[in-house]
């Protein structure tokens, strides 16, 4: 798999499921976003689902023996990904079916379903990333899930404008370094990957306070660099001996 393909397969699920929490919430307060989301929500949910399963199919070591390359696999992580996809599509059908007469409360309900989808994806992603790490415990797992969810919101705010969630994603990105063994630390240092993570954090932290014309480009660059860093972590973790995944 090429670097560009890996980057897209890493970033699209973040953006797709993050947008399902961010855009309906924004549309509840700003009706100008509603036609855009009614047209784009379902395709974006499908793109996010296809991207994550394509990523697993292209990197079978990430699946950790759970046959996750198939969307019908019902291992713990596969079930979480199916929940994420079902919640996102349920939100999209509610919002598209409600039409112009759907009140703001309906859009907030759609945003809540989207947040559930983002949370399920973030937990699944944390399971995949921390399972091979010999020192990973509940704290590293929870920190990784929260950092991934924040990064999803930051990716979505490329559309709506970077705000506090974008800065929070930059602050939390280093949590992915918890519980990494010395072997991975040495490879990250040798490959300059910590510089990638640092640049991503700085861009995301700064984006909400830059001049308006620079905010979205900074958030886009920061989220792409963060996705590239997470892709690198996945590649390095896949080289470690597998250990059993966390229980659902």
- Structural domain spans, the chain: 3-237
Q: Using 50, 70 and 90 to split pLDDT, how confident is the model at 68?
A: very low
| Per-residue confidence (pLDDT) for residue 136, from 0 to 100 | 63
Cα dihedral value 64, 130, 121, 199, nearest 10? -130
Is the confidence at residue 131, as pLDDT, over 60?
Answer: yes
Q: Provide the CATH topology of domain 3-237.
A: Formate dehydrogenase/DMSO reductase fold (1.20.1630)
Cα dihedral value 225, 229, 230, 232, nearest 10? 140
Residue 69 has phi, psi (to 5 degrees) of -65, -20
Helix axes 104-130, 34-58, angle to 10 degrees: 10
What does R_g of the chain's alpha carbons equal in angstroms? 18
Interval 34-59: pLDDT, tens: 999 999 999 999 999 999 888 888 76
């Amino acid at each position: 798999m090429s670097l560009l393909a890996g980057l897209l397969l890493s970033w699209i699920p973040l953006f797709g499921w993050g947008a399902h929490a961010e855009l309906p919430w924004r549309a509840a307060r700003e009706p100008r976003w509603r036609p855009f989301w009614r047209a784009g929500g379902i395709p974006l949910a499908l793109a996010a689902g296809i991207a994550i399963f394509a990523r697993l199919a292209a990197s079978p070591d990430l699946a950790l023996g759970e046959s996750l390359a198939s969307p019908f696999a019902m291992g713990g992580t596969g079930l979480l990904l199916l929940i994420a996809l079902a919640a996102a599509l349920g939100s999209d059908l509610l919002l598209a079916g409600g039409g112009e007469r759907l009140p703001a409360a309906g859009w907030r309900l759609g945003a809540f379903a989207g947040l559930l989808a983002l949370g399920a994806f973030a937990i699944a992603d944390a399971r995949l990333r921390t399972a091979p790490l010999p020192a990973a415990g509940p704290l590293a797992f929870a920190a990784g899930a929260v950092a991934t969810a924040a990064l999803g919101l930051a990716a979505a705010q490329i559309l709506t404008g970077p705000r506090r969630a974008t800065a929070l994603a930059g602050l939390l990105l280093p949590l992915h370094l918890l519980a990494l063994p010395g072997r991975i630390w040495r490879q990250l240092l040798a490959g300059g990957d910590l510089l990638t993570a640092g640049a991503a954090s700085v861009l995301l932290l700064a984006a909400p306070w830059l001049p308006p014309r620079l905010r979205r480009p900074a958030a886009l660059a920061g989220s792409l660099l963060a996705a590239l860093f997470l892709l690198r972590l996945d590649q390095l973790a896949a080289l470690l001996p597998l250990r059993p995944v966390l229980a659902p």
